[in-house]
Amino acid sequence: MLQITFLGTGTSQGIPMIACPCAICQSTNTKDKRLRSSVMIECDGQNLVIDTGPDFRTQMLREEVKHLEAVLFTHEHKDHTAGLDDIRAFNYFNKKSIPVYCSAHAAVKIKSDYDYVFSGKKYPGIPEIDLFEINNSPFKIQNKIIVNPIEVLHYKLPVMGYRIGNFTYITDANFIEEREFDKIKGSKILVLNALRKEQHISHFTLDEAIDIAQKIGAEKTYFTHISHQLGLHDEVSKELPPNIFLAYDGLKISL
């Protein structure tokens, strides 16, 4: 069984956005409060996190996570990687390094941003990670959890989505090639980015995300990586077709 926890469902600036007076940022509905996008997958006693954004520490504390077995990165943008240093706590309490999986181009940026982690002279207390470069082929975590990467485009940047069992997670995308659709089909739960209603150069709009969700035909689809420009959670939810939902921070799904 999988349990999926939405650690964050917001776009790069989160909701509320700093200094923004709009109705969404000023909303008192907790479902309109969105940290940067990330999910945790619990499988066979293992906790896997997809993306450690700037809110990673807050998310781990909120969910009272006591152990972490692996991190998977979708891509190298800071709203998805800026919290990596905070895995140090898991190193300390779990007494082990953390496997980190990402594409080769994401690995280049991570090694640059966290050069002190990969230095020959390691300062005491720095994050202990084992970095594994993946390609667009299945791989195993802990030699038992099979992960199927799904390559999508974030404008011109290749981004990895991931399928584990019947759960598929895709964020920061505005194009999916037909051959990648075949990897997604049959998913029972699909998570897909839906930034806003207006066109965007590198993200699916709400209508585009709905079209893709209906093409894939998962039992349930949840939208994430949501901007304050999309609208209020409760109002947008009323516009969605059956079996398509807006995700929100803290939402848990069992599969």
pLDDT in tens, 149-170: 999 999 999 999 999 999 999 9
Residues in contact with 208: Cβ distance below 8 Å, sequence separation at least 6, in sequence order? 174, 194
Question: Which residues are 40's β-sheet partners?
Answer: 5, 49
**What number is the average pLDDT over the span 222-233?**
98
Cα 194 to its chain centre, rounded Å, is 13
**What number is the average pLDDT over the span 105-132?**
94
pLDDT given for residue 168 in this prediction: 98
Residue 208, domain extent: 2-254
pLDDT in tens, 170-197: 999 999 999 999 999 999 999 999 999 9
Question: Two tokens at 153?
Answer: 């485009």
Residues in contact with 182: Cβ distance below 8 Å, sequence separation at least 6, in sequence order? none
Query: What is the distance between the alpha carbons of residues 249 and 253, in angstroms, rounded to a whole number?
Result: 12
| pLDDT band at residue 143 using 50, 70 and 90 as cut-offs | confident
CATH assignment of the domain containing 202: 3.60.15.10
Distances (CA, A) of 230 to 14, 164, 189, 215, 223: 12, 28, 22, 22, 11
Query: What is the distance between the alpha carbons of residues 118 and 124, in angstroms, rounded to a whole number?
Result: 13
Cα 14 to its chain centre, rounded Å, is 13
Q: Which of 63, 65, 66, 16 is nearest to 36 (CA)?
A: 16
Q: Is residue 123 predicted with pLDDT exceeding 90?
A: no
pLDDT in tens, 12-63: 999 999 999 999 999 999 999 999 999 999 998 999 999 999 999 999 999 9
Q: Over the chain, what is the mean pLDDT? A: 97
| pLDDT band at residue 142 using 50, 70 and 90 as cut-offs | confident
Q: Is residue 122 predicted with pLDDT exceeding 90?
A: no
Domains: count for the chain: 1
